[in-house]
């Protein structure tokens, strides 16, 4: 873990890989990480919504994070897993699973180690990136879960 400053969860980010891109999400949004499980397809859903899975009796929608970010459809491999995140919208909390290629590690990223998202150089929509975090002399795009998984937007997307 980087930095010698005091550890608080609000500055900790889980990093992971999607299509060879290293990305991050604040750990406060993460409920758990599970192995890839059976996903039941649901008719009339957007292409990147893979379907639903059962996690200890709770039905969780699963999104192909790579496809949602515009990086192409994920291939399920040995290290593929699902990160369950909590999204808060209009006073409600929703759990959504994000299919990712592999988990990396948790880093401390403080405001002094962040930069605004550049207008170039990323294959990911700029509005999905919260900021760029500097870790070990490289920059990692920290994803804005709220923008990426806007429940209202997901409900209104065209179906394939």
3 in a structural domain: no
How many alpha carbons fall within 13 Å on the CB side of residue 91? 0
Which residue reads 């590690």 in tokens?
105
CA 7 to chain centre: 22
Copy the structure tokens of residue 109: 């990223």
pLDDT band for 110, please (50, 70, 90 cuts): very high
Question: Given a cut of 50, is residue 4 above it in pLDDT?
Answer: no
CA 141 to chain centre: 11
Which residue range is the domain that position 78 belongs to?
A: 9-156
2 in a structural domain: no
4 in a structural domain: no
CATH of the domain at 75: 2.40.50.180
1 in a structural domain: no
* pLDDT at 155 (0 to 100): 60
Task: Give the residue among 85, 81, 135, 82 at the shortest CA–CA distance from 113.
Answer: 135
Burial group, residue 63, by CB count within 10 angstroms (0-12, 13-18, 19+): buried
Characterise 41 by phi-psi region: left (phi > 0), alpha (psi -120 to 50), beta (else).
Answer: beta
Average pLDDT over residues 42-49: 85
* pLDDT at 121 (0 to 100): 59
* pLDDT at 153 (0 to 100): 61
> What is the number of structural domains in the chain?
1
CA 118 to chain centre: 19
pLDDT tens per residue across span 78-101: 999 999 999 887 888 889 999 999
Pairwise CA distance, residues 14 & 84, whole Å: 12
pLDDT band for 159, please (50, 70, 90 cuts): very low
* pLDDT at 120 (0 to 100): 62
With contact defined as beta carbons under 8 Å apart, do 76 and 85 qualify? no
41 in a structural domain: yes
């Amino acid at each position: 873990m980087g930095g010698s400053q005091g550890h608080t969860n609000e500055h900790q980010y889980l990093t992971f890989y999607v299509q060879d891109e290293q990305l991050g999400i604040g750990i406060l949004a993460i409920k758990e990480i599970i192995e890839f499980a059976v996903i039941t397809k649901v008719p009339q859903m957007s292409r990147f919504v893979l379907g639903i899975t059962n996690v200890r009796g709770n039905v969780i929608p699963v999104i192909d994070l790579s496809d949602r970010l515009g990086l192409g459809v994920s291939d399920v491999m040995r290290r593929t897993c699902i990160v369950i995140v909590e999204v808060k919208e209009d006073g409600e909390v929703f759990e959504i699973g994000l299919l990712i290629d592999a988990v990396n590690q948790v880093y401390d990223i403080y405001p002094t180690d962040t930069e605004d998202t550049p207008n170039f150089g990323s294959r990911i929509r700029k509005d999905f990136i919260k900021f760029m975090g500097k870790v070990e002399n490289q920059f990692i795009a920290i994803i804005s879960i709220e923008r990426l998984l806007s429940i209202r937007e997901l409900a209104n997307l065209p179906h394939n």
